[in-house]
Amino acid sequence: RVPLDKKIKQLSRGMKAKVSLALSLAHEPGLLILDEPTSGLDPLVRREFLESMVRVAAEGRTVLLASHQVAEVERVADAVVILIQGKLIMQVRLEELKQSCCEVVLTGNIDALQKQELPGEVISKETSGSQQQWLFLNTNEMELNRRFSQIAGLIYEVRTPSLEDVLLRLLMSSREKSDEQNAKLKQEEATASSMSN
Same domain, 61 and 138: no
113-134 confidence digits (pLDDT tens): 888 888 888 888 888 888 999 9
What CATH number does residue 125 fall under?
3.30.70
Same domain, 156 and 71: no
Same domain, 63 and 117: no
What pLDDT is stored for residue 135 in this prediction? 92
Q: Which residue range(s) make up the domain with 30?
A: 8-77
Per the domain annotation, does 1 fall within a domain? no
Same domain, 73 and 105: no
Same domain, 72 and 117: no
142-152 confidence digits (pLDDT tens): 999 998 898 88
Higher confidence at residue 197 or residue 32? 32
Beta-strand ranges (E) seen in the chain are 31-35, 62-66, 79-84, 87-93, 101-108, 121-128, 131-137, 154-159
Same domain, 65 and 126: no
What pLDDT is stored for residue 197 in this prediction? 64
Same domain, 101 and 192: yes
Per the domain annotation, does 153 fall within a domain? yes
Same domain, 131 and 66: no
Same domain, 152 and 64: no
| Residue 104's pLDDT band (cuts 50, 70, 90) | very high
Cα separation, 99 vs 191, in Å, equals 46
DSSP string, 121-161: EEEEEEEETTEEEEEEES--HHHHHHHHTTSTTEEEEEEPP
Same domain, 113 and 188: yes
| Residue 196's pLDDT band (cuts 50, 70, 90) | low
Mean pLDDT, range 18-26, rounded to an integer? 81
In the chain, the number of structural domains is 2
What pLDDT is stored for residue 44 in this prediction? 87
159-193 confidence digits (pLDDT tens): 999 989 888 888 888 777 777 777 777 777 777 77
Same domain, 71 and 22: yes
